[in-house]
Amino acid sequence: MTHHDELRPDTLAVHAGMTRNEFQAVVPPIYQTSTFGFTSTGEGAALFAGEQKGYIYSRMGNPTVEGLENAVAALEGGSRALACSSGMAAIHTALAALLKSGDHVVCSEAVYGPTCTLVSGILTQFGIEASLVDTSSLEAVRAALRQNTKVVFVETPCNPTLLISDLEQVSKLAHGRGAHVLVDNTFMSPLLQRPFEFGVDVVLHSLTKFLNGHADVVGGVIVTRDQEMYARMRRALNHYGGVLAPFESFLVHRGIKTLALRMERHCRNAQAIAEFLEARPEVKWVRYPGLKSHPQHELAKRQMKGPGGMISFELAGGLEAGRAMMNSVKLCSLAVSLGGVETLIQHPASMTHASMGAEARQRAHISDGLVRLSVGVEDVADLIADLDQSLKVAARVRPGARVVPEQAVG
């Protein structure tokens, strides 16, 4: 793996994690097996004792899965990675590996909805205390840290408000109190943001999103930078059991080969669409890190290599106008998830962030009228034409009014 240190990220996306195999196949084989034979009892014992390297059983390690893990670790500039059966499995495994009863976790208040529920509604059942704060405010992070804070969990840009947390400063604050910093890097992918460069301890991804990129796999990954943290995470994953299967690993690894091409197009399309939306009278506000109007545009430029493919906005006509727009798109799909080649539109308050509850949403500034767009890699002119026709439908809606069907309008 060492020669990878000299390769640039776009090259790593194509080559990292490729292992030699018997027939020199250019694409690594799928080792669709649950278990691996031992040549002798001695070898079996040596493998279990960790005295010999090799494979035992696919929950504990599998060459196809390991190829994907090595690819993600190289892209993040970490040392090792652990592929998990979903992004939530990765988040749960990482938190459970680091926290015990009586510990405290600080978490971004605007995060992926189920992360919020896991931290504030499920881990609390095990005696783990949680504070959800605006981690884009260093004051709020400082005020939330306690004697027993063991983890600061940050999502940046956060979902769906796209506020940005300063990873270097948050890491300094947390490390000053002996807490580990975990970053959900799903919205950026390793090509747009490498949290380890800012002192973060563990990086997490939902592989389901940009890394796989084709909306056909659910998966997650934990990336570590030192051996001790890796061993702690591997032990947790091995016993909680949420590992990724070989075939899923193969698909994600294949997706990663085009990550650089895709991220470039996601950023270019999203920038054009954000500017288009911002200029429209039907739109009240647009939040996108690539816009000068983003409150942390300068921090975005410093910390991120590109503004990404995610946009949030609200229509002047509020929730009803937003619903009318989402119901009238033809090329964009009304669906949750993000980071795939196809453009998706959704309504966080009733969909991805419904489980958070109205009060938590309000605190995190997730308004009922907020619409989230995951911009795909289509021709941007086709996307803008679709958004244009759906905005025209939405413009006919008055706040509180029912949606007027298109054919009824003269």
Ligand X SMILES: *Cc1c(COP(=O)(O)O)cnc(C)c1O
Least distance (Å) between residue 137 CB and ligand X:
20
First to last CA, the chain: 65
Least distance (Å) between residue 248 CB and ligand X:
11
Q: Which residue number, 130 or 321, has a Cβ lying nearer to ligand X? A: 130
Pairing of strands 80-84, 104-108: unpaired
Q: What is the residue whose two structure tokens read 């500039």?
A: 77
Rg (CA), the chain: 22
Least distance (Å) between residue 242 CB and ligand X:
10
Q: Which residue number, 296 or 328, has a Cβ lying nearer to ligand X? A: 296
Residues in contact with ligand X by CB under 6 A are 86-88, 112, 115, 155, 159, 184, 186-187, 206, 208-209, 218, 220, 338
* Distance between CA atoms of residues 229 and 374, nearest Å: 33
Q: What is the residue whose two structure tokens read 């990954």?
A: 221
Read off the amino acid at residue 24. Answer: Q
* 271 token code pair: 């920038």
Chain centre distance of CA 377: 18
Query: Which contiguous run of DSSP H or E holds residue 202?
Result: strand 202-206
Least distance (Å) between residue 203 CB and ligand X:
12
3-state secondary structure of 62: coil
Catalytic one of 80, 103, 112, 194? 112
* CB contact at 8 A, 284 and 392: no
Catalytic one of 80, 150, 194, 209? 209
HEC profile for 114-165? HHHHHHHHHHHHHCCEEEEECCCCHHHHHHHCCCCEEEEEEECCCCCCCCCC
Q: Is 305 a catalytic residue?
A: no
Least distance (Å) between residue 159 CB and ligand X:
5
Catalytic one of 103, 134, 166, 184? 184
Q: Which residue number, 166 or 184, has a Cβ lying nearer to ligand X? A: 184
Q: Which residue number, 134 or 155, has a Cβ lying nearer to ligand X? A: 155
* CB contact at 8 A, 377 and 341: yes
* 181 token code pair: 């910093």
Q: Which residue number, 115 or 271, has a Cβ lying nearer to ligand X? A: 115
Read off the amino acid at residue 26. Answer: V
Catalytic one of 59, 142, 232, 268? 59
* 153 token code pair: 């969990």
* Number of Cβ within a 10 Å radius of residue 348: 24
Q: Using CB atoms, what's the residue nearest to ligand X?
A: 87
Q: Is 184 a catalytic residue?
A: yes
Cα separation values, 292 from 271, 296, 313, Å: 11, 9, 15
Q: Which residue number, 338 or 345, has a Cβ lying nearer to ligand X? A: 338
3-state secondary structure of 86: coil
Least distance (Å) between residue 344 CB and ligand X:
12
Q: Which residue number, 206 or 390, has a Cβ lying nearer to ligand X? A: 206
Q: What is the residue whose two structure tokens read 């033809």?
A: 330
Least distance (Å) between residue 378 CB and ligand X:
20
Cis peptide before 195 (omega within 30 of 0): no
Catalytic residues: 59, 112, 184, 209
